[in-house]
Amino acid sequence: MNQWHQMTWEEVSLLVSSGIDSAILPVGATEQHGPHLGCGMDSEIAHQLAEKVAEQTQVALLPTLPYGCSIGHSKRWPGTIALQPKTLIDVVKDIGDWVHDSGFKRLFILNSHVSNFAPLRCALEILRAEHDGFMVALINSASVSERVKARHFEDAEDWHANEAETSLMMAVAPQLVREDKLQDSDDPDRTEDSVFSHPVNRTSLNGVTGSPSLATLERGTELFDWMVEDLSKVVKKGMAETAPLDYGYFDKTNL
Amino acid sequence: MNQWHQMTWEEVSLLVSSGIDSAILPVGATEQHGPHLGCGMDSEIAHQLAEKVAEQTQVALLPTLPYGCSIGHSKRWPGTIALQPKTLIDVVKDIGDWVHDSGFKRLFILNSHVSNFAPLRCALEILRAEHDGFMVALINSASVSERVKARHFEDAEDWHANEAETSLMMAVAPQLVREDKLQDSDDPDRTEDSVFSHPVNRTSLNGVTGSPSLATLERGTELFDWMVEDLSKVVKKGMAETAPLDYGYFDKTNL
Amino acid sequence: MNQWHQMTWEEVSLLVSSGIDSAILPVGATEQHGPHLGCGMDSEIAHQLAEKVAEQTQVALLPTLPYGCSIGHSKRWPGTIALQPKTLIDVVKDIGDWVHDSGFKRLFILNSHVSNFAPLRCALEILRAEHDGFMVALINSASVSERVKARHFEDAEDWHANEAETSLMMAVAPQLVREDKLQDSDDPDRTEDSVFSHPVNRTSLNGVTGSPSLATLERGTELFDWMVEDLSKVVKKGMAETAPLDYGYFDKTNL
Amino acid sequence: MNQWHQMTWEEVSLLVSSGIDSAILPVGATEQHGPHLGCGMDSEIAHQLAEKVAEQTQVALLPTLPYGCSIGHSKRWPGTIALQPKTLIDVVKDIGDWVHDSGFKRLFILNSHVSNFAPLRCALEILRAEHDGFMVALINSASVSERVKARHFEDAEDWHANEAETSLMMAVAPQLVREDKLQDSDDPDRTEDSVFSHPVNRTSLNGVTGSPSLATLERGTELFDWMVEDLSKVVKKGMAETAPLDYGYFDKTNL
Amino acid sequence: MNQWHQMTWEEVSLLVSSGIDSAILPVGATEQHGPHLGCGMDSEIAHQLAEKVAEQTQVALLPTLPYGCSIGHSKRWPGTIALQPKTLIDVVKDIGDWVHDSGFKRLFILNSHVSNFAPLRCALEILRAEHDGFMVALINSASVSERVKARHFEDAEDWHANEAETSLMMAVAPQLVREDKLQDSDDPDRTEDSVFSHPVNRTSLNGVTGSPSLATLERGTELFDWMVEDLSKVVKKGMAETAPLDYGYFDKTNL
Amino acid sequence: MNQWHQMTWEEVSLLVSSGIDSAILPVGATEQHGPHLGCGMDSEIAHQLAEKVAEQTQVALLPTLPYGCSIGHSKRWPGTIALQPKTLIDVVKDIGDWVHDSGFKRLFILNSHVSNFAPLRCALEILRAEHDGFMVALINSASVSERVKARHFEDAEDWHANEAETSLMMAVAPQLVREDKLQDSDDPDRTEDSVFSHPVNRTSLNGVTGSPSLATLERGTELFDWMVEDLSKVVKKGMAETAPLDYGYFDKTNL
């Protein structure tokens, strides 16, 4: 596997010249995940998923960013450590600049915390507008495929620390799971009819949305396998992708 | 209709004390829309849709923001005037602060340009984290309901200046439509299989994605009527909505 | 008229190649204007004046920015929606960048809210320092000529929502005028001897400075005609202007 | 004289409790001033003028900020050291915050470089909106009175390093004057008919606008005396000024 | 060990109420470390050191920030992924805000990349000025004690990827060490007499400063043990520390 | 002496072409210095030291920045006027940009306030990463040599307004010294064992750390002479320094 963390600069250089010009950046979060899951759940899944995918695809694996934009989780529960949206934009913009300048042409941002999506998308917009031809993909871990998405949304539309996430942790990071809390941690989705985007303090009693009590190791193992398999496909596809058209960002059209 | 633009400060005050504590902010864009549509298409639809909805719901109608985050459209075609993502975040954050301080409790952000979504979501995150209890909704005009969404995505997944938008302009702003260009403006969606988010210079030959040649006044009128009807329902629902739970953003939970 | 909003990108391109490389950006504000005028007064005058001038000069008419820097109006009266000074700088900087990159060489910023002047001037400074040869003019609508200026300052030095503004609205946007409030809305200028720049909460009882009771439709029509005529002259002059000297911003002088 | 630089914190505290709650902040610039004047001309006049005025009024004299917003002077002539507009805003905002928190109620910003005005005004706007009741005045040294203004504009409308400035330096800082260059340094005002705000590289051949050859020590002495006398009057007036009305920035009006 | 990553919000809450109100934040970097070390060296040592210290002291262990301010390493060698100084300030400011709001009173920032020090110190300054009584310590891993410092500076004053770092990686992360490169990776310190802070492209041929060829597993093990032992002492001391005086940041002194 | 303040742009230009491509920027602070010293102590020493050094070395002497990052001094004592860390970074970044663009290749930043160091170092990092080959040195006045450092740290590790500073002021700026306060101003260093960086409100009773009662004119004169002599040596050395290697910041290495 091509872990950026472990590679020397010569190895980074050789990787690019060998034809692997793709890197994957896992972006997680540190935030409360109910009474039964560790605060690092999002980072854990981003990290482990990216690692497996990097193994299967040979993309360079960047270090996981363990802090995300979790300000929507409010100050109600200790444990949440959040970046402001503009801070996260700047972080990923800076990272992208240097990935590009290290010779890479493709950056896969793997995001495991839904509310990171907007700032990450902003970073993507900025990166592709400054580095002509730099290809950036933004992929939510829970949406890498239809089957993965379906599993995540099974017990709640606005899911958080739910069955899917709990099962995943049982499978890949049991040290983050409090088995004795599972039966009492379910909290229903109160947002299904909501027009407004209420912060979590106004939607959940304990930080959970969904039914962690339904979680099983088997379901977690299966789901994680799907995620690895389906994201690997996406990444492999991306590694061979060229832009549909070859006009530069700054080239004026002719009338 | 309660146009903020036309209301005096006394009328704004009276509106709030009469029980209307909701405002709608239309956010458009100024960007190329192919050879057949004016650059103000997005602002036009945001403005007209919000106006009709304000008529039907009595929410206060804020002035339309006519500039959005269109940097993804590249410098290839003249006419695009884009705000940087962080600029748009700041603008809507500032607007939200003052709407809140004018006594309003609910802000509907009506967005008609897809790429505005991420910065607007960032602004929403910031607003709800600073003003405890301020309810903010972010709604894309093309996704106000299933039928509206279906119509927009009919001729292209990555639609832009397509049949739906062209039909809408025929119905509500024919001065933006160049009828003589319609037959030659179709450009296929080249992004359906894309892993990466390519900027428009690499996906479209003329700035269009979709089939404006299929546009008709009738379809536009029907679609616009749906949008007004369906968004009005959403807004009315929001005007009566309370948050599922009543815990403040800064209130610590008890163990 | 060359409304940017209505023009396609081809038309924008053709306009420039036809020799019109000038655009006008109306900047208004959304802020309390006393008990007798709508909060959109500033945007209305900026928009209508620019529109008429664009008609007479053929400059490209950019969409009106309806939010300005009104923080000096305080939180005393609802209805004011203000951008922070640095936000307004960024907005106009971004707009200017893209106007320039669309091929334009001249940008007229038409400002109708006095307190926008400082941030707009900052934006002008930045734009001309980054785009060598890009010509930017910043013009206050109330100061387009001596006669226009005289009329605005007739009833108050620190005028706001005064006779001139009220008369103008009677002439061009009567829907913003509350005729029944006119007699009771006069508030004297308390700032004439002031050394300090006090915010409006400390200078006006009702948000007005001046004598709206003196407003008449006739005076408004006359004043608006002057503004159109006089600003058109300025703009036409600008369209033919070249810089006095031809040395670039980055060219070092020779000793 | 109450030089902040020389006062201990106890003396600052005693000054405020003795009833002097006013401070003056001189803001200069470091920028080319033609072949005959030192680059520090603006800082020199701000400093010396403020010092004399502080002597006569007992206001606390803050250290002179010797860098301003001179980006309009371009890179054409070495010697200009400019702050970006937003940097200057931040600097003066920070200074104002701490002046306020040291117990002062009145801040006179004395500006000697015209292009500082816009960022300084932005800082003023921000300060008065954050610190309710903090009174801030922004005064250009060349406009402290009609007679002072008249003298500055005598030889050029867009004057720079002209007769007035040269005479002033002869009187108060002869080490900045190159007598042997005076006869060859005149450069006419080429901007009188300009619609656009051209940067100095496009308006002056040598960085001067005006007629330094007309400068004399006598005129400088007289002018400086006027400036001291007239600004002292303004400052004394300000030291006794109260805001016209006593409503707070955050207090809502009653309907 | 109290890994924030693994703790639920209840456990975080209980930790604080049990009397552990201290957290440690490891800050690393991703940057070239010569031909013989992986780019993640700094993050690795920060992470492992903090982990051991957390074990021994029970402080809460925050997730390691794996990106730092490495812009001084230039674009010469691929592999460096750097945050801008202001970005790093913002990241650590945001993290500190939420650590504080989770109930913690003490934050140990453990920094393993020298050039992170300045932005981290800026963040410390901001945090202690906003959160009265929040105690923040900034500790460089290579300077936790005299003996640790001595070892790091043994082969070079401006050491980087040197004997000490290489030995450490042999001991705790051999997967980052390329044994076959060690003999050829030494590069002398060329900066000992330097007045200026030259970027690494101007001081090192291969990204190294020092003598990695001297590295041994034994030395690494010994050094790491020292670091754990000595930092644990510091942290334990800090956990019992109170500020020398009890006056608040915002409390004015009495004369 | 080459005072930037006094030089015309021609003289600046001639200085550079004569081979002096070095400038020195004194950065001070305005902050409480106990009951016995004026708030401008730091600016005074930076200014006077730089002036003497400029005399002896012919480097261009930039105007002293009299405001620094003193937020650690808290709001406890009036008189402190502080810039936020990011503001100071921006100021020095802007200054450095223009010094570079005036033709200078070497910038000595002379800092006299310890807490300025971190933001100044950030500015240095940014400057050298943007202007390839621009050499920047950051020097604390109290650390220009071992003997100077020893004297400053003689009576306190965390010294402030101590014997050394007081003696210096006696020697070079007696108007800042209150002789009658010296005997009662000593305050011990309470931070020697501190793990955390406490703000001054929690470490000093009167803003002093050290023993100003020990100050004498003789010691001040001697110390100042040392500082001038030792810093002049450093600067002269820097004026002749070339970077150890000649590879550009943006040049990629070859494998």
Amino acid at E171: A
What ipTM was predicted for this assembly?
0.98
Rounded distance between C-alpha atoms, residue D171 and residue B173, angstroms: 67
Q: What is the pLDDT of residue F254?
A: 82
Residue A229, number of CB atoms within 10 A of its CB: 16
Residue A183, number of CB atoms within 10 A of its CB: 10
Which residues make beta-bridge pairs with C106? C22, C135
Test A9 with E3 for CB contact under 8 angstroms.
no
Mutation test of the interface with chain C: which of D59, D253, D254, D255, choosing the one with the most C Cβ atoms within 10 A? D253
Test D197 with C86 for CB contact under 8 angstroms.
no
Chains C and E touch (3+ CB pairs under 8 A): no
User: pLDDT per residue over F22-45, tens digit each?
Assistant: 999 999 999 999 999 999 999 999
Query: Residue F255: is its pLDDT beyond 80?
Result: no
Q: What is the pLDDT of residue E102?
A: 98
Test F118 with E115 for CB contact under 8 angstroms.
no
User: pLDDT per residue over F177-212, tens digit each?
Assistant: 999 999 999 999 999 889 999 999 999 999 999 999
> Which of E87, F80, B70, B253 is closest to C102 using CA atoms?
B70
Residue E16, number of CB atoms within 10 A of its CB: 18
Closest chain C residue to the Cα of B32, Cα to Cα: C9
Query: Residue E216: is its pLDDT beyond 80?
Result: yes
- CA distance to partner chain B, nearest, from residue D201 (Å): 28
Q: Which two tokens stand for residue B121?
A: 């979501």
Query: Residue E210: is its pLDDT beyond 90?
Result: yes
User: pLDDT per residue over C75-118, tens digit each?
Assistant: 999 999 999 999 999 999 999 999 999 999 999 999 999 999 99
Q: Which residue in F191, F241, F249 is closest to E244 by CB distance?
A: F191
Residue C211, number of CB atoms within 10 A of its CB: 21
pLDDT band at F16 (very low <50, low <70, confident <90, very high): very high
Q: What is the pLDDT of residue D1?
A: 86
Q: Which two tokens stand for residue E156?
A: 């070079």
pLDDT band at C192 (very low <50, low <70, confident <90, very high): confident
Q: Which residues of D touch C185 (CB under 8 A)?
A: none
Q: At what angle do helices D117-130 and D85-101 cross, to 10 degrees?
A: 40
Mutation test of the interface with chain D: which of C128, C136, C241, choosing the one with the most D Cβ atoms within 10 A? C128
> Which of B46, B65, B131 is closest to B96 using CA atoms?
B131
pLDDT band at B30 (very low <50, low <70, confident <90, very high): very high
Q: Which residue in B13, B63, B176 is closest to C67 by CB distance?
A: B63
Q: Which residues of E touch A40 (CB under 8 A)?
A: 3-6, 63
Residue burial D203-232, b: 16+ Cβ < 10 Å; e: rest: bbbbbbbbbbbbbeeebbeebbebbbbbbb
User: pLDDT per residue over A171-185, tens digit each?
Assistant: 999 999 999 999 999
In the numeric block, the tokens 């000025």 are attached to E129
Test F81 with D30 for CB contact under 8 angstroms.
no
Q: What is the pLDDT of residue D181?
A: 97
Q: Which residues of A touch B190 (CB under 8 A)?
A: 244-245
Q: Which residue in B38, B44, B75 is closest to C7 by CB distance?
A: B38
F232 to C229, F64, F117, F228: CA distances (angstroms)? 65, 17, 20, 6
Q: Which residues of F touch D43 (CB under 8 A)?
A: 5, 63
Specify whether the CB–CB gap between B15 and B153 falls below 8 A. no
What is the average pLDDT score of chain A?
97
Amino acid at D136: V
D39 to C67, C233, D70, D112, F23: CA distances (angstroms)? 39, 38, 11, 13, 14
Rounded distance between C-alpha atoms, residue F114 and residue B41, angstroms: 56
User: pLDDT per residue over C140-189, tens digit each?
Assistant: 999 999 999 999 999 999 999 999 999 999 999 999 999 999 999 999 99
Chains D and F touch (3+ CB pairs under 8 A): yes
What is the average pLDDT score of chain C?
97
Residue C61 buriedness (CB in 10 A; 0-12 / 13-18 / 19+): buried
Query: Residue E186: is its pLDDT beyond 90?
Result: yes
Query: Residue F52: is its pLDDT beyond 80?
Result: yes
In this prediction, residues C22-40 reach a mean pLDDT of 98
Which residues in chain D come in under a pLDDT of 50?
A: none
Query: Residue E255: is its pLDDT beyond 80?
Result: no
Q: Which residue in A77, A81, A98 is closest to E95 by CB distance?
A: A81
* Chains in contact with F, where contact requires at least 3 CB pairs less than 8 Å apart: A, C, D, E
User: pLDDT per residue over E69-124, tens digit each?
Assistant: 999 999 999 999 999 999 999 999 999 999 999 999 999 999 999 999 999 999 99
Q: What is the pLDDT of residue E193?
A: 87
Q: Which residues of D touch F3 (CB under 8 A)?
A: 38, 40
Q: Which residues of C touch D89 (CB under 8 A)?
A: 85-86, 122
- CA distance to partner chain C, nearest, from residue F255 (Å): 37
Test C37 with B8 for CB contact under 8 angstroms.
yes
B129 to A91, B8, B135, B185, C65: CA distances (angstroms)? 21, 30, 10, 44, 27
Rounded distance between C-alpha atoms, residue D126 and residue C199, angstroms: 11
Q: What is the pLDDT of residue F159?
A: 97
pLDDT band at C254 (very low <50, low <70, confident <90, very high): confident
Cα E214 to the chain's mean position, in Å? 23
Q: What is the pLDDT of residue C193?
A: 87
Query: Residue A193: is its pLDDT beyond 90?
Result: no
Q: What is the pLDDT of residue F192?
A: 84
Chains F and B touch (3+ CB pairs under 8 A): no
Mutation test of the interface with chain E: which of A2, A3, A5, choosing the one with the most E Cβ atoms within 10 A? A5
- CA distance to partner chain F, nearest, from residue D167 (Å): 15
Rounded distance between C-alpha atoms, residue A69 and residue A92, angstroms: 12
Residue E240, number of CB atoms within 10 A of its CB: 9
Q: What is the pLDDT of residue E89?
A: 98
Test C245 with D202 for CB contact under 8 angstroms.
yes
Residue A177 DSSP symbol: B
Q: Which residue in A76, A118, A135 is closest to B121 by CB distance?
A: A118
Q: What is the pLDDT of residue D192?
A: 84
Test F196 with E247 for CB contact under 8 angstroms.
no
Cα F205 to the chain's mean position, in Å? 25
Rounded distance between C-alpha atoms, residue B123 and residue B105, angstroms: 16
pTM to 2 decimal places: 0.98
Test E32 with A43 for CB contact under 8 angstroms.
no
pLDDT band at E235 (very low <50, low <70, confident <90, very high): very high
Q: What is the pLDDT of residue F1?
A: 86
Closest chain E residue to the Cα of B250, Cα to Cα: E101
Query: Residue A255: is its pLDDT beyond 80?
Result: no
Q: What is the pLDDT of residue E254?
A: 82
pLDDT band at B192 (very low <50, low <70, confident <90, very high): confident
